[in-house]
Amino acid sequence: MALDINALKSKLNSFKRVGGGDRDTAIWKPKEGKTVIRIVPWKDNPENPFIELYFHYLGNKTHLSPLSYGNRDPIAEFADALKSDQTRDPKERYAEARPFMPKLRTYIPVIVRGEEDKGVRFYSFGKTVYQELLSYISDPDYGDITDPKTGRDIVVEYIPKEKSDTNFAKTSVKVKPSQTPLSTDAGQMKVWLSEQPDIKELYTEPTYNELKVTLEKYLDPDNSVITPAREAEAPKPVATTAAAPKENVKNAVDAFDELFND
């Protein structure tokens, strides 16, 4: 029997990728034009490849919200406090709370056609693409597009905002009608199904107190003094009627949208 060089090369690449927490190699971002990808069943939950994570973008940095794993989030609690302030106009309350509300990003493990040597990566997208993919899966004419043997490839079309007619970047997906295998190489398919980046290593969950400190510094960068004793206090819901600075509100929303290109 001949040595399967391609399968061994793929295995070597997987060792270079997996477990390093390197987002540059583990996250795939679509480039301008059309790209063909294939959803790979997620090794941690083969029955559902869609991984929902929530994020905040404050202080020019992205923070994973603990809500992603069902834990308390002081920034989200601050947003809730702003929204529930009955002494203020509802529209004004929502506008001020918006940058502190966690934003959903959905991730799926994928193989990019033409870049199979890079192995499984995660593709992140917003609500619109999520809805489009779920619509295809819900359509009986398509069904399980993630099946390794009888699934379907997906065409992702990305238009940058400078070329978009809406002044916003646009991403659309179209599932191909033909059913095709994830790979015709059984060894390669086995590697892709088992050797995948760890999403929890790519996005570390911060503690409640870490996010509380981040929020305090963001709201009052000049006067926030965080002592070890204060940081170690038992977590309590953040409740305040103080309005967030308007320039911070706009900057946080714009920066988050720009960060994810949609």
Q: Where are the domains of the chain?
A: 23-260
Query: Which positions ≥6 away from 171 have C-beta within 8 Å?
Result: 30, 125, 126, 128, 129, 156, 157, 158, 159, 261, 262
Give the whole-angstrom CA distance, residue 78 versus residue 56. 12
Q: Topology of 23-260 in CATH?
A: Replication Fork Single-Stranded DNA Binding Protein (3.90.198)
Read off the amino acid at residue 78.
Answer: F
Confidence of residue 245 (pLDDT cuts 50, 70, 90): low
User: What local confidence, expressed as pLDDT, does residue 87 receive?
Assistant: 84
Q: What is the pTM of this model?
A: 0.77
Give the whole-angstrom CA distance, residue 192 versus residue 176. 21
Distance from the Cα of residue 20 to its chain's centroid: 18
Q: Given the structure tokens 């099946």, which residue do they identify?
A: 147
Confidence of residue 238 (pLDDT cuts 50, 70, 90): very low
Confidence of residue 19 (pLDDT cuts 50, 70, 90): very low
Give the whole-angstrom CA distance, residue 33 versus residue 172. 10
Segment 121-148, tens digit of pLDDT: 999 999 999 999 999 999 999 999 999 9
- Does the pLDDT at position 207 exceed 80? yes
* Average pLDDT score over the chain: 83
Greater model confidence, 198 or 253: 198
Read off the amino acid at residue 221.
Answer: P
Give the whole-angstrom CA distance, residue 205 versus residue 202. 10
Segment 145-155, tens digit of pLDDT: 999 999 999 99
Give the mean model confidence (pLDDT) for residues 63-68.
96
CB atoms within 10 A of CB 64: 21
Read off the amino acid at residue 75.
Answer: I
Q: Which of 9-23, 79-93, 208-222 has the lowest mean pLDDT?
A: 9-23
Read off the amino acid at residue 185.
Answer: D
